[in-house]
Chains A and B, each alone.
Chain A
Amino acid sequence: MATQLLMAKSPSEAMGLKTADAAFLAGGTEVNRLGSEAAAGAETLISLKRCSGMDHIEKDGDNLRIGAMCTFQKLVESDIVPAYMKEAAHFMASRTKRNMATVGGNIAALRSDSYLLPTLFAVCARLEVLTREGQENICVNSFMEEALSGKEMLITEVIVPLGIKAVSKRYANTAQSHAVLTMSAAVTEKGITMAAAVKNSGIYRFRKLEEALRSGEDMSEDDMIAFFRGAEGLSISDDMFGSVEYKRYLLGVTAYDLSRKLADSGKGV
């Protein structure tokens, strides 16, 4: 249990304060929820609330740079944030929570029911992170792999592309419940991309499916269901959120729905 709270005034100060038994604290909306036990075990919390210059939203050519401490509500209210990011932020149904929850915090929590990660995976978002060695620009997939391997990083900015189309869907018993599945699909310059957060399982990018769709294969709903029924590398388990069969079926029908939605809307924004 945390007994000490440190208030950092800048990202570099926060990184300097980070020790093995410390965790960064951003908006604080996920700390007490089941599934965030890793952060709850820290002896020291380093609050980022007073770090200046971390809540901006700025256009940068074909991209948008979002400060890691930018709140979900700020995303929703912004005129320059793409619709797909607003849709993902709206998955957090409560406005009072959106006033607190931060973009960087939601990514770094690495929850298997993350609101933003499936969308960020699908649109191939990049992150500016501060490490012991200095500033790095990495893709969100690499961030996840390195964070899970224990590398100490502090997200300072999230970079998302403008001018692309992405759609998402989230399944939960209530607007406030943990989602059994959040899935996103996008049309990027490489072609269609798909990613999903499966509760108690993890975040996945479905590259084999993407390759099949990019090669022009016309997949029916049954094909998609069959693909996910046999998809390897998904460590899905039976739990209170549903059986393995149910979750794989849901992945299939949702992938089909999202690919149809993208096809119907064309490649424009």
Chain B
Amino acid sequence: MAKQYKVVHCTINGKKVEQVVDVRASLTDMLRNDFRLTSVKKGCEVGECGACTVIINGEGFNSCIYLAVWAEGKEIWTLEGLTGPGGELSDIQQAFIDEGAIQCGFCTPGFIMTSWEIVNSGREYTDDELRKALSGHLCRCTGYENIFRAVKKTMLRHLGKFEEAEKVNSQGITEYPEPMPFK
């Protein structure tokens, strides 16, 4: 049977686009090959490592197991869309650098996209919830703690809790000057 193609219309990083794709192509392939958005990494290709994570209509998805044709009418954000007009890094990207949450960098774009969704949710996640929310990503270098700290600090800053963010220590635990009083 001959290959089948379809036209996909969607918004990528704020820009409306139209692209002819093989109906079997993954969104990862479309973003990398047709739009040169190479922050979207091809890792496991079965939705387990999280390196290909993009934001679709405000929620994180593994683009490697998401068909490109399913993106019709959707709003998609990749890491390239987070930087400012002059290439300025977003606060979550800067936090990854500041906290040493990067080593080889392969998993980083995926982690940042999920983190971006978390810090922009307007919700304060508990440490356990934060770890669970990040559990769809695998990192073989950093040991996760620095990543966790970067996300927690940025989340607290987004919630206006600047002092609390500064108290997040190297173990990712918020330190208080005195023991918390019992209620």
Contact = CB atoms under 8 A, between A and B. Distances in A.
A97 B136 contact: yes
Interface of A: 2-5, 7, 28-29, 31-33, 43, 47, 49, 73, 93-97, 99-100, 175-176
B109 interface: no
A94 B69 contact: no
Contacts of B65: 28-29, 31-32, 97, 100
Nearest to A4: B4
Given A4-B1, A4-B4, A32 B67 contact: no
B93 interface: no
Contacts of B132: 93, 95
B136 A94 contact: yes
Interface of B: 1-4, 6, 23-24, 45-48, 50, 53, 59-62, 65-67, 69-70, 114, 132-133, 135-138
20 contacts: A2-B24, A4-B1, A4-B4, A5-B23, A28-B66, A29-B62, A31-B65, A32-B45, A94-B136, A94-B137, A95-B132, A95-B133, A96-B53, A96-B62, A97-B62, A99-B60, A99-B61, A100-B62, A176-B48, A176-B138
Contacts, number: 74
Nearest to A71: B59
A49 B70 CA distance: 7
A100 B4 contact: no
Nearest to A32: B46
| Interface secondary structure of A, over-half rule | loop
B2 A175 contact: no
The 8 closest A-B pairs by CB, nearest first: A94-B136, A5-B23, A176-B48, A3-B1, A96-B60, A96-B136, A32-B46, A96-B62
A46 B1 CA distance: 16
A31 to B, nearest CB: 7
Given A4-B23, A49-B70, A175-B135, A29 B1 contact: no
Listed residue (A43, A93, A96, A99) with the most chain B CB atoms within 10 angstroms of its CB:
A96
A5 B67 contact: yes
B10 to A, nearest CB: 14
Contacts of B59: 73, 99
A171 B21 CA distance: 39
Given A3-B4, A5-B23, A100 B67 contact: no
Given A5-B4, A5-B67, A49-B70, A94 B46 contact: no
